[in-house]
Chain A
């Protein structure tokens, strides 16, 4: 090779490195599956969104923007027509058409998966032509598009070829081709997944959209232990770490080689109280349920020192709150976010009025590996309630056994964190506060709250298409939940991410980094 050519080659190599970069990302958990319709699990979704795409997606500000659908319009309030993007190809080269949307809709609704909430309210998807589909809704739905953002599209021909038409049955430990291999249309191709070790993704060269960043390879490493994960960043083994332990954030901020990107998550941490049982299952009060009494619920709320939890337990990484939705969720308004006053004497007085001058005893169930400092917060609550004479017996255990108890109504009070995937208050109100029925109504209302007036408000906002009227409904519902003290809201989580100085990315309120926004210089 002549020297001139060598120089040119070197130049190209230099240029190429500035356009190609590897992002090494470390977080706490591994994914559960690669099947996009199997598990409604935050980590799994945050990885799969690199490879699979929905018809519409969120932009940087969580507004809906076109993805696989170029445009859409309601024909009638219950029939929406989507024009699909043309010449989009799946990673295996097969073209994306209306058949894939219809197929994916039937697939995501299979009962062994847990992703049905993302197509709730859709009765049918009809193919009009190769690049047009109609969504037939059960009723008018103001947040319909926001529901669709995690409805990931899978190739029909690929599924047929690999016998993956059926969604993986995760609960019975089934392993299918689609749970081990991914084939989407997204910005990144999942090259390999070694469970509990790493996931390797490379940029999709024929992606229809342009990546804003320069990351061409993503290596995801799950690191369970907090200290090890932080050490991996400090030693330079990974470039970006999510799921930061709160106590280490200050130290990471002071490290000159690192930077911390702050951001609020769309999640509320709260305690739910069993208001359905006529007698509390695990309590020393017999024959009645103290949580049915507003004064008791109010007293429990007043005994919580939310500022102390923020300062000591969360090290400043929370926003103490009195509403059940975080500030970045539609429907939130600062003027109604009034926290119950921290007042031990007042709480005691209320308890005495309610007929429990010496308090009572009940059991509190908490996860210990799900939310930021979940077990520590519960321990702090036990101490705070002890001061008004209420003895809470704490059981903290991993999410699996914990959630099983909650879903079997085998608790008297429990901690939960509710993230709002649609960024609209309805998602929370309908799941947590609406009287339970068989469908999406009250799907997570395991404390069996039932308030006919609240139900009316929620049912009305489901179909109210006039934004102003709908906002008024949301506001009234949120204030009712607050004033009736149906829950003990604690705070909204902040979820900082730490990264090397040369990494730039956009913080996401759903705590799911998107590598297409990331730059490594």
Chain B
């Protein structure tokens, strides 16, 4: 057993990807930062110094405490507190949870949608292909954020307000997911067009497998490479889109703030000098998005045979 694990580890270590990873210090740093962000977000209830959403522990008289290293700072609150006396560091950790969760779920959703539509479009062709691709063209002529705003606005009208607040996170996933499927669909369709004429697909067809089985078991595994790359970069975009929507006030409600919501709330206090309330969530967002983006870039280069 131990030997098997060791040999698996050795193979992983000697794999092309691992090799290029080891050679790029920037990527290592990015991976480390991503891990730190994801880790602190995932384990926020255990690692955060305070629970900012347990009202019983809040003390209004601690409101607007500046970061610990400044004159009036307190060691209790490393990055200071906001207008209600909530610890900024803790709210960032809890906020990153929502941001990451929404980002990942949106990517999963739009990847699933885009890959399925791309496979159908490329493999079946014909009118369906034309239809899906024209819809994609139309959607590409709008900025993604506009689509997301549109979907969010429609659900806001359709759902009563109380319900909308409860469902805000899901609505956001839907809105960001739907606004991003085109890239996946077009990439997958392109690869599928190439793959479907290859011998192994023809062989599968000859032995009588149905089109859906062929798409799922034969074509899909061979078109997933680019999807992974797009997906990684899309995580960063989705987090930014979520932050933008929340910054505009149409994202998650303040009762469960994401990084974007925190930046929006903090923005009110920028003029009056309480910069830490908005700057630190902003920095956290930058670090998170930058490191995910760097990882995505690295993955793209590492998987691209032409760059090797």
Contacts and interface: CB of A to CB of B under 8 A. Distances in A.
A401 B254 CA distance: 18
A260 interface: no
B60 A384 contact: yes
Given A227-B267, A383-B84, A308 B61 contact: yes
A230 interface: yes
Interface string A393-429: 0111100010000000000000000000000000000
Interface in A230-268: 230, 245, 247-248, 250-251
A380 B83 CA distance: 9
Nearest to A380: B60
A395 B162 contact: yes
Nearest to B162: A395
A227 B278 CA distance: 14
Contacts of B54: 386
Interface in B72-98: 83-85
Contacts of A379: 84
A251 B83 contact: no
A382 interface: yes
A313 B60 contact: yes
Interface stretch (B4-12, B144-152, B194-202, B268-276): B268-276
Interface string B37-74: 00000000000000000111011110110000000000
A502 B237 CA distance: 49
Given A376-B83, A379-B84, A380-B84, A309 B60 contact: yes
A401 B274 CA distance: 32
Given A305-B61, A380-B60, A383-B55, A250 B83 contact: no
Interface of A is mostly: helix
Contacts, number: 60
B134 interface: no
B273 A251 contact: yes
B254 to A, nearest CB: 8
Contacts of A395: 162
A459 interface: no
B209 interface: no
A136 to B, nearest CB: 46
Contacts of A248: 271-272
A401 B161 contact: yes
A211 to B, nearest CB: 34
Interface string A295-332: 00000000001001101110000000000000000000
7 contacts: A227-B271, A230-B271, A311-B61, A376-B83, A379-B84, A386-B58, A397-B161
Contact of B271 (A247, A311, A391, A397): A247
A227 B265 CA distance: 12
- Going nearest first, the 8 A-B pairs with the smallest beta carbon separation are A386-B55, A386-B56, A312-B63, A247-B272, A383-B58, A383-B55, A308-B60, A380-B60
B175 to A, nearest CB: 21
Given A308-B61, A397-B161, A401-B161, A383 B56 contact: yes
A60 interface: no
Contacts of B59: 383
B83 A313 contact: yes
A370 interface: no
B61 A251 contact: no
A86 interface: no
Nearest to A234: B271
Given A313-B83, A380-B84, A247 B60 contact: no
A250 B56 contact: no
Contacts of A401: 161
Nearest to A388: B56
A279 interface: no
Contact of B63 (A226, A250, A313): A313
A396 B254 CA distance: 10
A182 B140 CA distance: 49
A387 interface: yes
Given A312-B60, A383-B58, A250 B161 contact: no
B61 A247 contact: no
A394 B63 CA distance: 19
A227 B61 contact: no
A247 B56 contact: no
A186 B114 CA distance: 65
Interface in B132-163: 161-162
A227 B272 CA distance: 10
A376 B56 contact: no
Interface in A352-386: 376, 379-380, 382-386
